[in-house]
Each structure stands twice: as structure tokens, then as C-alpha cells.
Amino acid sequence: MMEVDVIIPVYKPTEKLTALLEALKAQTLPVHRIILVNTEKIYFDKFTAGTDFWDKYKNVTVKHIPKKDFDHGGTRNYGVSLSLAPYFIMMTDDALPVDEKMTERLLSPFVDTKVGMSYARQVPARGCGVIERYTRSFNYPEKSCVKSARDIKTMGIKAFFASNVCAAYRRDIFDELKGFTSHTIFNEDMIYARGLMDAGYRIAYAARAKVAHSHNYSGFGQFRRNFDLGVSHGEYPEIFSGLSAESEGKKLVKETCRFLWGEGKPWLIVKLAWQSGCKYLGYFWGKRYKRLPVALRKMLSMNREYWK
């Protein structure tokens, strides 16, 4: 049986984290250790105060870091350094396995020794809006696949699309490739995935491994998220240049418009237009972040500590 650890960055934990830990306890492929890298100890102390947390979750290890030290790549590398398992799963603390077979199905593609990374399908969480619900189905279809560098010509940026919301890694390949880029504002998963492909390995999309995960961002929330996305694309032109993210965005907007019309909810197209405009402007200025003063970058970014 495969030995696997789960590594989860945590910030201001809520009952969602408890639900996640309970779901991980129920997996048919047992989790060996759960490593939580928590930002700011005070929040975790409040979360566990007066509870039996430590008695219930004996395979959980918690390491605390100050907020100023959090980084999308570096913090995850730190979590991996605490694991000795040959496989590990990266998750976020707001993702929830849909059933007890998530870990089993997520690791099943590793029977192919050339697969170095496998990522799960994200389905809408409870309370997800109609537009976001369709976005999930667009980015995470029902059919599994395995992708390699040769697919970049036909799939473009989607060839190395992957997400650390729920993704598994083969540890020996991870070490060979020196892990995630240590200082990243966003997209540490896709930056790694592209390097994985370039080294001759493959990425599996395990559609039967499912987690509930979605957001209902406001227009400004969409702007800020896509600002950080644009920054990451601008910082790594050797990875993202020549592979237009805008074309995928246009395709998503068109398909969503068609979906909303077919569902008899044309009034939501106005909301879609507003959100899409916010996404585009955020991405546009993110790619051009060097033109902006640092104070404005901090204001527009979801990751203000990045600009310290």
C-alpha cells in the first residue's frame, strides 16, 4: 500500500478544516501524516482552545510561521521538508474530499512511473453561484487524462494546468526538480508542472478524485486574484510567454454565456460581463506590475506580504 502524507497551509482555521481532517480520516487509502503549516499561532490556538483536537487527530503535526514568512512556494516546500513519505498530497484548508476514495483515486495514476504529479477534480461547494458552478465544470471536466510536453502545442497553457487545491506528487521526482519555486506570488503548482513536463515527466488529471471547492468572489476579488495571476505570468515569461491565457478566458466567457442563455438565466450575463471585465483588468495590470508603484501593487494584490 502506498504511504502518503497530506500537507496543508492553514490561515485562520474554521470548521472547514475540521471537516477536511474528518474526511481524510475516512479515506480507503489511509493518510500516514497530516502536516499543517499554520500562519500565525494565535489563530490556531483560538481554534483548538477548549477542544479535544489533539486527542482526535493524533497523526496531525502543526508547525507555525509568522505571516511575513508565508509564501505560496516556500511555505509548501517547508511542509514537504517535514515529510518522509514517498508520495504527498498538497491541499488547501477549504477543500473537502467528496468521498472516501479521493486519496486512492488521486494516487492511482502513479502506477505509471513517468507520472510525477496528479491533480483532482474540483466540484462546486455548497452555496456556489451559477457562474462559478459552470466555471468549475469548464476547468475540471468529467474525463481523466494524462498530459505531457508534446501536448503544449495543441493544448497551450491548459497542458500544464494543475492545482494545489488538491494535487499529489511523487517525492523522488519532486526532489529531483528541487521542489516549488521558493518565492512565488501565485501559480507555484503550474510553474512546477511546466518544469515537470520539460524534464520528460507527465501530469495526470484524476477526474474521479473529487474535492468540493469553489469561491464566490466579488468583482474586486476577481480583480485581485487575477492581478496576482498576471504578476506570476509576467515574472516567468520563459514558462508562460506565447501561451495566451486571454484566449482561454475568452473561450470560458463565450461558453458561460451560452450556458446561462440555455438555462433561462440571461440576466446573469450582465454579472458575467462585470466579473469578466474585472478579471481581465486585474490580469492586464498584473502582467504590467513593474509599471506600478509598490504601494499600489500591495493595494491590488491578494498577497500583500509578497511585496515586502
DSSP the chain: ---EEEEEEEES--HHHHHHHHHHHT-SS--S-EEEEEE-HHHHHHHHTTS-HHHH-TTEEEEEE-GGG--TTHHHHHHHHT---SEEEEE-TT-EESSTTHHHHHHGGGGSTTEEEEEEEEEPPTT--HHHHHHHHHHS-SS-EEE-GGGHHHHGGGGG---TTEEEEEHHHHHHTTSS-SS-SS-HHHHHHHHHHHTT-EEEEEEEEEEE------HHHHHHHHHHHHHHHHH-HHHHTTS-HHHHHHHHHHHHHHHHHHTT-TTHHHHHHHHHHHHHHHHHHHHTGGGS-HHHHHHH-S-GGGG-
Give the mean pLDDT of 137-150.
94
- The pLDDT tens digits of the residues spanning 253-278 come to 888 998 888 888 889 999 999 999 99
- The pLDDT tens digits of the residues spanning 78-113 come to 999 999 999 999 999 999 999 999 999 999 999 999
Q: Which of 209, 176, 214, 217 is nearest to 195 (CA)?
A: 176
Give the mean pLDDT of 51-78.
95
Residue 243: its pLDDT value, please? Answer: 66
pLDDT at 223 over 90: yes
Residue 246: its pLDDT value, please? Answer: 62
Residue 245: its pLDDT value, please? Answer: 61
Q: Which three cell numbers stand for residue 283?
A: 490580469
